[in-house]
Amino acid sequence: MRPQTSSSTAASPSVPRLFPRTRSSQNLLRCAHFLPLLLFLSTTTFIRNLPFHLSPPSLPAQYARFPSSASSSSSAALRHTTLHSSPSLSPADRLAFCEDALLFRPSSRPPTASAPDLALLSCDPSRREWNTVMGPLADPYAGGGGLWVVDPLEGKVRRVEMEWEEVREGTGEFHPLGIEVERTEEGEDRLFVVNHRANRSTIEIFTLSRSPANSDPLAFTATHLATLSHPSFTGAPNSLAAYSSNSFFLSHDHRFNRRSSLVFARLANAVETIFALPLSGVDFVRFDLPRHGQEAKVEVERVISGVAFANGLALSPAKDTLVVASTTRRQLLFYRIDPASPSAAPRLELIRTVSLPFLVDNLSVLSSSSQTSGVHSPEDETFVVVAAGHPSYLALLSAAHRLSFDSGPPSPLASLAAAVGLKRLAEWRLKYDWREQDGGSWVVAVPHPLSSLSSRGQEEEWETVFQSRGRPEEGGFGGSTTAVSGEGEGRGRWIVVTGLYAEGVRLVRERERGE
């Protein structure tokens, strides 16, 4: 529901200030004094990123293999499918434009049960109207998002029912981004969701359970428990990693908010992205659910600072390592977690940095045991981070803003390059059409500690799991934001990949005997 607006009865129109005189604007102005220094320090990063932006990699129509696979897992041995929702659903409720995903084992299922693990997705078909990370910010009321459950072995999907008064009555917005599920002491599945509302961001807390009135094994209901609000959430919260059922790590992808009413803040947001300024970070959030009609109690403490575009988060199975994706630096940052005291936020120490060939988005984790059984063991000291992201920012920008362009060097420069034998420069072109592609996809597996992933026995920091240039007519799938991998008992392995501006969700699985 759109908010009502009131007309002003001022005697004379006021000229809007570029920086209104408020305490928050004064803080922003103080930060502005440091921007020249930060820009200078980031110049080398900007120059280093230019080849990446101007010469994107050549990708296959589609390619996949499984993490830690000893064989080549050629495409002939795999089945690629894009799963879609039922055509009977309205366009606003369809399975599309999914951002985060996680491997989900329902609490109602015994740990030794042979039923398949599921994937839980956050999706928002109205993302082209409301995207607080990269725009546009056209209309937060044009539609809303939803949560979906995927059964990878059966190739089925189903939308999660929402038991939430605000959504049912149309008095609140739901634009989900990062999601996480944590088991409570009572054995319930507690769901955390980053929600980018029209004027602020919040963290929504749900209980996720099977729908009692429906026999469909994919029928789940998310019952709303609380909305967490805090001044720090008004910025740019992105991804979650649950530390307990009442605490979590929360990444903020920018220091300056694209939704701000200040012109300076909106410009600074763009500068922060372009120059990969290390101004974002990760918070540790503790909360108590509301009681007796009171609001939820929320405590926030910054535990990681100085990250450029802090995005996806992943906790190791033992919860002693936090992995942070730095999107614009194209890096994974590994932090050792010191639990400290129960009443204090844990302390984190950077222990490893891994550079990747794409803009890293979201992360998921495979433990050594889950690679064979599909189940994470808290005792696992080794694990594999599955990182998804975008090999071309311009291709993603084209998909996000419905842009089409075809550009190359000016004719005089092209002629000169051809004359002196610089054929590659003379023939260089950037060509993207949002109607033909959804942005490229690249997913890799990163072991920690460093171990061998390669069939050649060499120690490699990462290995490609999925690639596509994102053209649906070629069978490709673009805009990869998250990938989760699992295995069905006796039925082979699978990978689910979400696409930020893709219709449906990509499923890659090993062919069963007889297929």
**pLDDT tens per residue, range 387-414:** 999 999 988 999 999 988 787 777 777 7
109: closest CA among 381, 489, 384?
489
Q: Of 94-98, 120-124, 268-272, 511-515, where does mean pLDDT reach its minimum?
A: 511-515
* DSSP string for residues in 415-482: HHHHHTT-HHHHT--EEEETTT----EEEEEEEES--B-STT--B-S-EEEEEE---GGGT----EEE
CA dihedral angle for residue 201, residue 206, residue 208, residue 209, rounded to 10 degrees:
-150
For the stretch 209-260, pLDDT in tens is 998 888 899 999 999 999 999 999 987 999 999 999 999 999 999 999 888 8
- CA–CA separation, 85 and 262 (whole Å): 40
- CA–CA separation, 23 and 252 (whole Å): 21
User: Which phi and psi (to 5°) does residue 383 adopt?
Assistant: -155, 170
> Could you tell me which residues come within 8 angstroms of residue 173 by beta carbon, excluding any fewer than 6 positions away?
140, 141, 144, 195, 197, 198
* DSSP string for residues in 258-319: TT-S-HHHHHHHHHHHHTT---EEEEEEEEE---TTPPPEEEEEEEEEEESSEEEEEE-TTS
**Residue 357 in tokens:** 């060939």
Averaged pLDDT for residues 344-349: 94
**Residue 157 in tokens:** 């999907």
**Residue 351 in tokens:** 């222990």
Q: Is 147 helix (H, G, I), strand (E, B) or coil?
A: strand
Averaged pLDDT for residues 110-133: 84
Averaged pLDDT for residues 161-181: 93
What is the number of residues in the chain?
A: 515
- Helical ranges in 133-279 per DSSP H: 165-169, 263-274
Evaluate whether 228 touches 245 at the Cβ level (below 8 Å): no
Confidence band for 19, pLDDT divided at 50, 70 and 90:
very low
For the stretch 136-155, pLDDT in tens is 999 999 899 999 999 999 99
Domain boundaries, the chain: 32-392+439-510
Q: Token pair 């459950």 is at which residue?
A: 149
Q: Average per-residue pLDDT in the chain?
A: 85
- CA–CA separation, 85 and 67 (whole Å): 28
Report pLDDT for 5: 40
Characterize 43-56 residue by residue with b for buried, 16 or more Cβ atoms within 10 angstroms of its Cβ, and e for exposed.
Answer: eebeeebeebeeeb
Q: Token pair 């920008």 is at which residue?
A: 397
- CA–CA separation, 200 and 211 (whole Å): 31
Per cent of the chain over pLDDT 70 is 83
Report pLDDT for 43: 64
Residue 484: its H or E element: strand 480-488
**Residue 115 in tokens:** 């039923």
Report pLDDT for 35: 58
Q: Is 25 helix (H, G, I), strand (E, B) or coil?
A: helix
> In the predicted model, is pLDDT for residue 73 greater than 60?
no
Tally Cβ neighbours within 10 Å of residue 369: 17
- CA–CA separation, 363 and 482 (whole Å): 6
Q: Of 86-95, 215-224, 247-256, 365-374, where does mean pLDDT reach its minimum?
A: 365-374
- Architecture of the domain whose range is 32-392+439-510: 6 Propeller (2.120)
> In the predicted model, is pLDDT for residue 299 greater than 50?
yes
- Helical ranges in 1-130 per DSSP H: 23-32, 35-54
Q: What is the CA radius of gyration of the chain?
A: 23
Higher pLDDT, 456 or 301: 301
Q: Of 2-6, 34-38, 116-120, 406-410, where does mean pLDDT reach its minimum?
A: 2-6
